[in-house]
Amino acid sequence: MSRAALLALCALALAGCQTCDASATFVAAEQGELRFVHEVGELGDPAIPPPNSYGLKRISEGYALLTPHLQSSDPFARLHAFEALRRLIQRSKPLFRDSHRELLDPVLRGEDPELRWRAAWLLGRLELSRPALHALTKDEDPRVAERAVWALGRAKDGEAVEVLLAALEREETREPAIKALQRTTGKRRIETVEGWRSWAKEQPQELEKPPR
């Protein structure tokens, strides 16, 4: 029997066997087989009975296994890997927040605008910020720039106030920048670009940076 066939049989057996080892799934995913990449993204899903007890170590292994596929030359494979990683991150938020925040930095700085957009969206959903997210507010892709501004507002990133003020000058990011500034500074009553410009002039040279 071929190695690929053996891996497939092992993976099928995992669904019904509570004591089987999931190593075969990891091996196949590491080789880039998309079905198994997807399965790694399902680690820890309470709706899917796992073949054994996945702890934080296994989730971390899943992060490490999926990340290299984000650099694949195949755009479909990159997207598939990112979505698996996204599901895994959203299912293990404390682990990502405390130990793996830098994991998405290469994606935020990468050449794939679809993945940049999705990475910004994910950070916004998690209410987390990264320095690489600041640069995306000036991304050449308007959709990416808009989502980066939105994400910074969700994170209430006090260190992003200046980049959010700059985002007021771009049509595609103007409205989300106003909302992000309101959320970040707590100044909900300032609703116009002119209002924020006036507010900025009144601030000390070092803009106030509220706690994150």
Domain range enclosing 91 = 1-99
Alpha helices per DSSP H over 67-137: 75-91, 93-99, 105-108, 113-126, 131-135
- The tens place of each residue's pLDDT in the chain, 212 residues long, gives 344 433 333 333 333 333 344 566 665 555 555 555 555 556 655 544 444 444 567 788 888 888 988 888 989 889 888 998 998 898 888 889 998 999 999 999 999 999 999 999 999 999 999 999 999 999 999 999 999 999 999 999 999 999 999 999 999 999 999 999 999 999 999 999 999 999 999 886 545 444 34
Does some domain include residue 117?
no
Specify the CATH number for the domain of residue 180: 1.25.10
Establish if 69 belongs to a structural domain: yes
Residues 95 and 179 grouped into a single domain: no
Q: What whole-number distance in Å separates Cα of residue 107 and Cα of residue 132?
A: 9
Domain count, the chain: 2
Same domain, 81 and 35: yes
The Cα–Cα gap between 35 and 28 comes to 9
Angstrom distance (rounded) from CA 53 to CA 194? 56
